[in-house]
Every structure is written in structure tokens, then in C-alpha cells.
Amino acid sequence: MQEITVQELKKMLDNNDEFQLIDVREEYEYEWANLGGELIPLGTIVDNLHKISKDKKVIIHCKSGARSSAVIDTLEKQFGYTNLFNLKGGIISYINEIDSSIIK
């Protein structure tokens, strides 16, 4: 599984790189803190495949990296995605290492 660090994500955000950011946490978690990505909760991923690009880099994250890892595993094995990256450490790492001000 491909991974990306929070430092790499921050650089991509700062450079306005083209990629899709998907948050697979629940809505209440998203409201607590988010990176501005599209919210597609874990339980709704299969119903929302049409929202997930196959043409550009897609970074998927959750709180710590476990749920996003499971999502990527499913999307790669069952639906043929090859452009997915797991955010290593999830939003918790982003808060701890990059920007704690995103907590609402």
C-alpha cells in the first residue's frame, strides 16, 4: 500500500497540487477537525465509488490511518484502484506535527 506523510501532504496543499483528499471518518469527527477533504464515511464508500477519482492521486485519511488503510485495501483489491495513498498516522499526526489549530 502506498503511503504519504503529513509533511508531504502539507507540501502538496501549500503548492496547490492537483489531487483528491478523502476523509473516511464519521461526520461528528469531521466537524471536530478536518483537512478540507471530501467526507465519505467508511460505511458509505462502496455506495460512493463514483466520487473517487481513478485519474489522479487520491489521498485517503481517517483519525490514525487504520480505517483509511482498510478502505484502500478494499478499493484496490475489489475495484482495481491503483492511485490511492494512505495518510500515515491520519489526522492525529497532522494535528500533532503540522497544525493543531484545525481542531474546532
Provide the residue ranges of all domains of the chain, joining segments of one domain with +.
3-102
Using pLDDT thresholds of 50, 70 and 90, give the confidence band for residue 93. Answer: very high
Q: Is the pLDDT of residue 16 over 90?
A: yes
Residue carrying the nine cell digits 491503483: 82
Q: What is the pLDDT of residues 34-87, one digit of tens each?
A: 999 999 999 999 999 999 999 999 999 999 999 999 999 999 999 999 999 999
Q: What is the predicted pLDDT for the residue at 6?
A: 98
Q: Output the pLDDT for position 97.
A: 97
Neighbours of 96 (CB within 10 A): 11
pTM above 0.75, yes or no: yes
Q: Is the pLDDT of residue 104 over 90?
A: no
Q: Distance between CA atoms of 4 and 62, rounded to whole angstroms?
A: 13
Tell me the residue length of the chain.
Answer: 104
At 61, which amino acid appears?
Answer: H
Q: Which CATH architecture has domain 3-102?
A: 3-Layer(aba) Sandwich (3.40)
